[in-house]
Amino acid sequence: MSMTEKTTLEAKPKIDKGLDDVYVKESSICLVDGVRGRLLYHGWDIRDLAEHSSFEETVYILVHGHLPNKDELAQVKQAFAESRAIDPEMVKLLRSMPKDAPPIDVLRTAVSYLSNFDKERDDPTRAANMRKAQRLIGKMPTLVAAHHRIRQGKRVLPPDPSLGIAEDFLRMLTGRNPDPLSAKVMDVALILHADHSMNASAFAATVAASTLADLYSAIVAAIATLKGPLHGGANEAALKTMLTIGRPENAEAYVLNTLRNHGKVFGFGHRVYKTWDPRAIILREYARQLSELRGQMDLFHVAEIVQDTVVKELSAKHIYPNVDFYSGLTYHLLGIPPDLFTPIFAVSRISGWTAHVIEYWEDNRLVRPLDYYVGPTDNVYVPIDQRA
Ligand SMILES: CC(C)(COP(=O)(O)OP(=O)(O)OC[C@H]1O[C@@H](n2cnc3c(N)ncnc32)[C@H](O)[C@@H]1OP(=O)(O)O)[C@@H](O)C(=O)NCCC(=O)NCCS
């Protein structure tokens, strides 16, 4: 008797549809403290990392679990710089994508194709997986930037190994060396999105990995999962709200009207954070600085009034801004179009995905949940010419 058959004979089990309260592994990678509003990577507070670290060092911490010394940091930076170039065949693939293909779909396809260029793809050892993770993390920004240039009819720019990942990403995307504030903001955004414990995309990667599929397959599953608006897409919606409001004097009425009609204001509320999301507070400050640098304060003032109004109206329900409220605005101020927001999320989150998969493989178990069968059990097969 199979497990599924067994469940149909028993009393209806408790069905945990969203797996909200299910733990699938022990982990030392990331703590989301939704009560105190803290996010820790291997014990280091993201507020410290955002201020003092770099994306490269943060990736090192996620994967290795300790702060690198000077030599280790230099080595990891060099390894990422050397991994960043992509094969001309890959550029051909990007050129062959339909002009209006969503960049997140292109990225998913590109990562799948990338596996064919990796001689270690099917080597399951931890050392090989660490090297594959490093190559993947290095190439993701290049893939996103190259496709964006192609769809704009512009020349694809090769990576500059003398620059860090964040700065080089903006350069490859825009064709200009970014100003220091923009480079810093991109770096911080990558640090803040690098991991968030066992979320939907990390779980999708874990499920694929649990079958002992290769790392690339696990990452393709994660990108596919990140695409959904309930996961990676909320910052686009939050920015659209701000652009729709347009002027600060319209903001309060817009929010009150939305709430009166029982609508949701995008970029607020979170399943885990029941207080301020620390990432939102950090990005709000950088959005303010970028707005000042650009001399365009209107949208930032809109955001502040929306924030104050929602918090005033909904703090009793523990609704506060989440990271998406300010990341959309931040990317907009960096001149990045909205359909790149989710691919940029992936450029950062690949570090968390690979860390989780490698951690899971240390004590792998095939993920195989149950469903509770409620269909018929005694249907009689009728040949086609005897059916009514
Ligand atoms: C993220 C989210 C799904 C969390 O949901 P949740 O933990 O299940 O919380 P609920 O949806 O049950 O919300 C609890 C209450 O707060 C309200 N609420 C939650 N988020 C809200 C928002 N963004 N705007 C207005 N009201 C909101 C709900 O309407 C509900 O009110 P009720 O108790 O009167 O019915 C939810 O807050 C949301 O949809 N936010 C907007 C989308 C978003 O920003 N997503 C990105 C998350 S990182």
Which residues span the domain enclosing 59? 30-229+338-361
Helices (H) then strands (E): counts for the chain: 17, 3
Torsion angles phi and psi, residue 288, rounded to 5: -65, -45
Provide the pLDDT for residue 3. 47
Domain identity same for 305 and 343: no
Domain identity same for 316 and 348: no
Tell the residue nearest (CA) to atom 7 of ligand 1: 271
Domain identity same for 151 and 276: no
Q: Which of 21, 196, 317 to mutate to test the pocket of ligand 1 (most atoms within 8 A of CB)?
A: 317
Report d(CA 301, CA 329) in Å as an integer.
11
Domain identity same for 246 and 293: yes
Domain identity same for 136 and 225: yes
Residue 181 lies in a domain: yes
Domain identity same for 100 and 223: yes
CB 280 less than 6 A from any atom of ligand 1: no
**By the 8 A CB rule, do 93 and 147 touch?**
no
* Options 270, 277, 332, 356, the catalytic residue: 270
CB 320 less than 6 A from any atom of ligand 1: no
Residue 256 reports pLDDT greater than 60: yes
Residue 1 reports pLDDT greater than 80: no
Nearest-atom number in ligand 1 for the CA of 322 is 48
Domain end residue (candidates: 316, 333, 350) = 333
Domain identity same for 154 and 36: yes
* Options 168, 324, 332, 356, the catalytic residue: 324
Residue 387 lies in a domain: no
Domain identity same for 266 and 174: no
- Read off the pLDDT of residues 149-182 as tens digits, 9 standing for 90 and up: 999 999 999 999 999 999 999 999 999 999 999 9
The verdict on whether 187 is a catalytic residue reads no
Among residues 200, 280, 223, which one has the least CA distance to residue 105?
Answer: 223
Torsion angles phi and psi, residue 31, rounded to 5: -115, 120
Residue 378 lies in a domain: no
Q: How far is the CA of 272 from the centre of ligand 1 (A)?
A: 11
Domain identity same for 327 and 342: no
Total domains, the chain: 2
Provide the pLDDT for residue 234. 85
CB 264 less than 6 A from any atom of ligand 1: yes
Provide the pLDDT for residue 9. 55
Domain CATH number, residue 76 = 1.10.580.10
Nearest-atom number in ligand 1 for the CA of 277 is 48
Domain identity same for 319 and 204: no
Domain CATH number, residue 241 = 1.10.230.10
Segment 272-295 mean pLDDT:
96
Domain end residue (candidates: 333, 349, 383) = 333
Among residues 34, 65, 51, 29, which one has the least CA distance to residue 194?
Answer: 29
Q: For residue 246, what are the contacts with CB-CB under 8 A and spacing of at least 6?
A: 298, 302
Residue 385 lies in a domain: no
Q: Which of 32, 201, 264 to mutate to test the pocket of ligand 1 (most atoms within 8 A of CB)?
A: 264
Segment 76-99 mean pLDDT:
96
Q: For residue 135, what are the contacts with CB-CB under 8 A and spacing of at least 6?
A: 83, 118
Residue 25 lies in a domain: no
**By the 8 A CB rule, do 305 and 144 touch?**
no
Better-predicted residue by pLDDT, 228 or 173:
173
**Helix pair angle (180-192, 341-361), 10° resolution:** 40
Report d(CA 135, CA 162) in Å as an integer.
17
The verdict on whether 270 is a catalytic residue reads yes
Provide the pLDDT for residue 4. 47
Q: How far is the CA of 310 from the centre of ligand 1 (A)?
A: 12
Residue 6 lies in a domain: no
Report d(CA 204, CA 222) in Å as an integer.
5
Q: If residue 226 lies in a helix (H) or strand (E), which one and from where to where?
A: helix 215-226
Torsion angles phi and psi, residue 40, rounded to 5: -120, 135
Domain identity same for 319 and 250: yes
Tell the residue nearest (CA) to atom 36 of ligand 1: 269
Nearest-atom number in ligand 1 for the CA of 262 is 29
Q: How far is the CA of 269 from the centre of ligand 1 (A)?
A: 5
Q: How far is the CA of 264 from the centre of ligand 1 (A)?
A: 7
Provide the pLDDT for residue 5. 47
Question: What's the farthest any 2 CA atoms get from each other in the chain?
Answer: 78
Segment 284-306 mean pLDDT:
97
Domain identity same for 36 and 156: yes
Residue 12 lies in a domain: no
Residue 41 lies in a domain: yes
**By the 8 A CB rule, do 38 and 278 touch?**
yes
- Read off the pLDDT of residues 108-140 as tens digits, 9 standing for 90 and up: 999 999 999 999 999 999 999 999 999 999 999
Question: What single DSSP character describes residue 386?
Answer: G
Tell the residue nearest (CA) to atom 33 of ligand 1: 317
Residue 340 reports pLDDT greater than 90: yes
Residue 198 reports pLDDT greater than 60: yes
Among residues 146, 143, 183, which one has the least CA distance to residue 165?
Answer: 183
Edge-to-edge strands, sheet with 44-45: 30-33, 38-41, 44-45
- Read off the pLDDT of residues 38-65 as tens digits, 9 standing for 90 and up: 999 999 999 999 999 999 999 999 999 9
Nearest-atom number in ligand 1 for the CA of 271 is 7
